[in-house]
Amino acid sequence: MFELPVPPQDLLRILCGIWFVPHVVGKIRNFTKATATFEAAGLKPGRVFIVLTIALEVMAVVGMVFNIYPKVATGCAVIVLLGAAYAVVRINGSKWRWQLMGPEFPVFWALACVVSAL
């Protein structure tokens, strides 16, 4: 039987953390556009919210991937993801499915983060 090198819950925590990396890079590389998106969602001033989001995402990555205060890191991740779900609803309306630009994916990801920290 195949055994994972780490327990499944740890693997989930690490994956949930790693998935923030492209989001951080994208926000940094497209700072002005991301700021405008935050402001379109009503998160003003956009620069403050994007810097705060980047900081929380970096803390989530480091904590979740390297198991440093993983529950605190998960809290940072959940704050960001629920904020993203809120922003998606503010911008696109209350459609649920991600194919319709709904909040389904960030809500699922937030729940996966919570499960990984239990």
Closest to 112 measured CA to CA, from 27, 22, 26, 18: 18
What residue has token string 């920290």? 117
pLDDT (0 to 100) of residue 96: 75
What residue has token string 């195949």? 2
pTM for this entry: 0.90
Q: In degrees to the nearest 10, what's the CA dihedral of 30, 36, 40, 46?
A: 100
pLDDT (0 to 100) of residue 98: 66
Q: How far apart are CA 85 and CA 87, in angstroms?
A: 5
Query: 44 or 5: whose pLDDT is higher?
Result: 44
Judged against a pLDDT cut of 70, whether residue 81 lies above it is answered with yes
Average pLDDT over residues 101-106: 87
pLDDT (0 to 100) of residue 101: 78
Please give the mean pLDDT across all residues of the chain. Answer: 93
Judged against a pLDDT cut of 90, whether residue 79 lies above it is answered with yes
Closest to 107 measured CA to CA, from 91, 58, 9, 95: 95
Average pLDDT over residues 79-95: 92
User: H helices then E strands: how many in the chain?
Assistant: 6, 0
2-6, 79-83, 86-90: which range is least confident on average? 2-6
